[in-house]
Structures are given as C-alpha cells and as structure tokens.
Chains A and B, each alone.
Chain A
Amino acid sequence: MTDTTPSTRLSTKHLLGIRDLTKADIELIFSTADGFSSMLQGRIRKVPTLRDTTVANIFFENSTRTRISFELAEKRLSADIVNFSASSSSVKKGETLLDTVQNILAMKVDMVVMRHPAPGAHQFLAQHIPANIINAGDGTHEHPTQALLDAFSMRQRFEKLAGKRVVIIGDILHSRVALSNIFCLQKLGAKVAVCGPPSLIPFHLPKLGVKVFDQLDDALAWADIANVLRIQLERQDIKFFPSLREYHNLYGLTRERLAKHDKDILIMHPGPINRGVEISSAVADDPEQSVILQQVENGVAVRMAVLYLLGASNPE
C-alpha cells in the first residue's frame, strides 16, 4: 500500500540541480517514473495530466537527445509546447536572458525547460520569474535529469544502489553530467569515483568524497558500474591531452580492457558517443553489459515524472 509512503510531494518548486533535492525527492521521482515506465511498456502512450499546462523548451545550446526526450515527455503528458532555440531568435539581436524569458512568460507559460551555457543561469531565473524551471544543462555545472535517469537505469539492474561502486570515466572537468551524477549517487548511498587524465579532473573533487583514479585498470578493478563520458572538445580552448588516439589507448573502454577484469561491469554512457575514442563499438553495443539505449528509453519516463511532480506543486 502507498498509504504509508512519507512523501508524495517534491520539496522544491524547481529542478535546478540534484544538490537541492533530498533523498526522498529522488525516490519519489523514481517511483513515479516506475509508473510511467510501466505505462509506456503497455498500450497507453499519452495521459491527460498536464493538459492545462504550457511548457517552453528554451535551448541556448545544441541538444538532440535531451530536447527530444523532454518534448516527448511533455507531449505524453498532454502539455502544450513552445520550442525556442537561441540560434534562431532575438538573442542574436542582443536581448538579455531575463528579457527573453519574461517575454515568453508574458504569453502565459507555466514551466520552463532550459539549457544554457552559463552555470547558474537557472538559479538566476528562478529568483526572477514565477514559472517552474527545469534545468536541462547549465554549462559545466549540473544536468539533473541526466543524473536521475542514469541512477534510475542502474536501479533497474541492481535494485539497491547503496554500497554500489560507480566510476565516471573521461572529461570530468567539462562535464555537468559528472557533477550531477556524483550528487545523485552519493545521496542514494553509492560510492563514486572518477577516472581520467589528471588535466581533466577538477582539483576540488576529493572534498566531495569522490575517489580519483589515474589508471583505468585500477578504476575498473574497483567498480561495479562504469559511466563513460565524451571528451567535450567544444569546451576545451586549450590542449588537455596530446591526442585523441593517446586518450583512447589510455582511457578508452575496450573489450580487451574489460576482459582483464573477471566481472560484469555495467556500462553506461549519457551520449553522444564518440565511437573509438572513449568507448569501442563492441563495448557500446554489447546487449548484456551496456544499457546505453535503455538510458535513452528511461529518459522519457524520468522526465515525465519530473514534469508531473513539479506540475503538481502548483496548487490551483
């Protein structure tokens, strides 16, 4: 029975980052996502829950997966959608972020899903506008829905995440996925480590209780789950390592590397994948070990849960 469940509301009005969520919030999002997931497995593709809600998807940075995933989640909840991307807008004419969003809100929008290159852009907006704000990535800071769907996918495989060991491999310095994952997994009781070239590991990480591995083999020997990240060349204005080929040789996840460890490590990747750089095709496409496509599938259910729960935080 669900009567005894302590919380049925989120403690927050916005999803700005995982750091603001409580463990109970994360668990509420997961149990709600379970419902959407079982519904999407069946015949029902659409529910009327948010039919009186308008959502603006505002993307100041490129995105395929996240944007489509949010859009599908919104459509499956029957919300009305406005799409906006910076490349084709008045931002090019010199409008500020606050003006852009206030103009959109003046047209009666209830929720804003935003991706922005500046860390903290969402916090700034949340102080100035009344709509629910969902962070779909802010620079190198947080990407909360990605972390939620990563943890949700791990939970499908392992039931309990407490005590599980997760290593995040790659460009940690430029990754918002890494930071959100660290917050999310630690709140759920998992142990988190990172692994990558020292030039791409932020200096402050041990302060968050995160283990740091320089050698991929050491990291794999320790881990139950490996979350592999892309090298974000677009954010690297200087050289952080000699060449992609050398990176692949030292930190690329391949069959041969995994064969050295006598255990099944769950392989995850938030996408987009650079095949042959951080991960080989054979590993990425392994139907047993890799859950990369399940992550994408779960993304819709998890985002539906977030939209649904934030929608319910607006009493009429």
Chain B
Amino acid sequence: MSQEKVILEELKIKLVLERIARHLHERYRDFENTVLVGIQPRGTFFAERLHERLLQYAPHLPFGKLDITFFRDDFRTGTKQLLPDPMEMPFSTQGQRVILVDDVLYTGRTINAAMNALQSLGRPSKVELCVMVERRFHREVPITPDYMGVQIDAIGQAYVRVRWKKHDGIDEVMLYPNKEASRK
C-alpha cells in the first residue's frame, strides 16, 4: 500500500456515532452509575462527540478525560510521547460502569495503561471499551473492543488518523502508508 486512503468520511462518521450511541443506550438504558471516559489526547475528541449524543438519553452523564502518560509501560522505549495532557477526572470510578473511549485500538498498550490508571481512581463495577477504529493485526495484549466504528487490516508501518471537525477542521478517518505521511 503506498497511497493514502479514506476509511470513513463525514457522513459515515455521523452514522457510526449514531449507531454506537443507540447501542450504548440499549445496553445501559438510563446510564445510571455510568461514566464516559476519553483517553487523552485524541480519545477525548471522540468521547466528546459521543457524549453530546448520549446527553439526550442521560442529561447528567459524567464525562472525564484520562491521561495515561505516566501509566505507560513503554516509556523507556522512546516510541511514545512523554508529554502529559491534563487529567480531568472529577469523579470516583468506585462502583461505576466505565465506558472507556479511544480513537484507534492498535497494540493495546494504551488501553492496558488506561486500565491501570482507572484502578487508582477506584474499583469500577465494569469497564467496556469503545473505539472508532480497530486495527486487527499487531495486538500485543489480549484486549478487544466492545463497540467499534470500523475494523481494518493494515500492515505494521501503516498509520491511522481520526480527525474531528472541532479540532482538525474535518470529520474523517484516514489510512496512511506511514506516520510521516499523516502530517502533511
């Protein structure tokens, strides 16, 4: 694969948000004892959009931003960012049902770190994972999403970028041959 490719465009993203919101509504009903948590930095953009949709079912659904920088197990390998983002978790997760939201599930290390971070905020009664894109290959820990926008198969160097209108000016999911190509 040498070309960049559109995985989802604006309309599809809208439909995916709609589908996942309804699916969550079906499972969680009135979202009692439930919190929505986005993983910093880019998971929170998706979580924000999902949260807007879910407010019609649960006007008081708490929304948190979890920064997992200091919980990573690969901070010495030099591949991941060391710079933290703000942590905004204004509630305890003790006894709560946590819906964890991120944009792309790839190796699973981020989610693994997020689960460790959640442990230090209390003992959730249940944790579910919602991602926009699931990359099927190269998982390094046994993690699968409960809700997902789209599933793709891509080789190792390929890079998936999820963009959001509010932060990047456009709603789209793109596949690039490598990370550098995504910056253009």
Residues of A within 8 A of B (CB): 1-3, 5, 8-9, 28, 31-32, 34-36, 38-39, 42-49, 77, 308-309, 311-312, 314-316
Can you give 22 contacting A-B residue pairs, CB < 8 Å? Answer: A2-B41, A3-B183, A5-B83, A28-B83, A34-B84, A35-B69, A35-B70, A35-B83, A35-B85, A38-B67, A39-B84, A42-B89, A42-B90, A44-B121, A46-B120, A48-B70, A49-B70, A49-B71, A308-B82, A311-B76, A315-B77, A316-B77
B81 close to A (CB within 8 Å): yes
**B88: A residues at CB distance < 8 A:** 38
Known: A2-B41, A43-B121. A48 touches B67 (CB 8 A): no
Docked pose: A308 CA to B83 CA in angstroms:
11
Count of A-B residue pairs with CB < 8 Å: 84
Residue contact B81 to A8, C-beta cutoff 8 Å? yes
Q: With the chains together, A238 CA to B128 CA distance in Å?
A: 69
Which B residue's beta carbon lies closest to that of A43?
B121
Chain A interface, >50% SS class: loop
Does B87 belong to the interface (CB within 8 Å)?
yes
Binding site for A on B (CB under 8 A): 41, 67, 69-72, 75-78, 81-90, 92, 116-117, 120-122, 167, 183
Are A39 and B87 neighbours in the complex by a CB distance under 8 Å?
yes
- 10 additional contacts, CB 8 Å, given A1-B41, A42-B90? A2-B41, A2-B85, A8-B83, A39-B70, A42-B87, A45-B120, A48-B71, A49-B70, A311-B75, A316-B76
B76: contacting residue among A39, A43, A314, CB under 8 A: A314
Chain B residue numbers with a CB within 8 Å of A49 are 70-72, 75
Chain B residue with the shortest CB-CB distance to A45: B120
A35 touching B183, Cβ below 8 Å: no
Among A9, A44, A312, max chain B CB count under 10 A is at A44
Which residues of chain A come closer than 8 Å to B85, judged between CB atoms? Answer: 2, 35
Please give, as numbers and ranges, the residues of chain B lying within 8 Å of A45 by CB-CB distance.
Answer: 120
Is A312 a contact of B70 with CB atoms below 8 Å? no
The answer to whether A31 and B71 touch (CB under 8 A), given A44-B121, A48-B116, A315-B77, is no
Q: Are A36 and B70 touching (Cβ within 8 A)?
A: yes
* Candidates B71, B72, B78, B121; contact of A315 at CB < 8 Å: B78
Smallest CB gap from B68: residue in A: A47
Chain B nearest CB from A276 CB (Å) reads 41
**C-alpha gap A47/B69 in the complex (Å):** 10
Shortest Cβ gap from B80 to chain A (Å): 9
Residues of A within 8 A of B77 (CB): 315-316
Chain A residues contacting B117 (CB-CB under 8 Å) are 44, 47
B67 (CB) vs chain A CBs: closest residue: A35
Q: Which 4 residue pairs across A and B have the least CB separation, nearest first?
A: A35-B84, A47-B70, A8-B82, A2-B83
User: Chain B contacts of A32 at CB under 8 A?
Assistant: 82-84
CB distance from A296 to the nearest CB of B (A): 22
- Complex CA gap A314/B76 in Å reads 7
Chain A: CB-nearest residue to B73: A48
Min Cβ gap A161→B in Å is: 20
Q: Is B75's CB under 8 angstroms from A312's CB?
A: yes
Q: How far is the CA of A60 from the CA of B89 in the complex (A)?
A: 41
How long is the Cα–Cα vector from A2 to B77 in the complex, in angstroms? Answer: 18
Asked, given contacts A1-B41, A3-B183, whether A36 binds B84 with beta carbons under 8 Å apart, the answer is yes
Which single residue of chain A is at the shortest CB-CB distance from B74? Answer: A316
Closest to A77 in B: B70
Bound state CA distance, A309 and B70, in angstroms?
11
Please, which residue of chain B has its CB at the minimum distance from the CB of A52? B76
CB contact between A38 and one of B41, B86, B121 (< 8 Å): that residue: B86
Residue of A nearest to B78 (CB): A315
* Contact between A43 and B41, CB atoms less than 8 A apart: no
Instruction: Let me know if B82 and A309 touch, CB within 8 A.
Output: yes
**Contact between chains at B67 and A39 (CB < 8 Å):** yes
Nearest CB of A to B142, in Å = 20
Contact status B92-A43, CB under 8 Å: yes
B84 adjacent to A31 (CB under 8 Å): yes
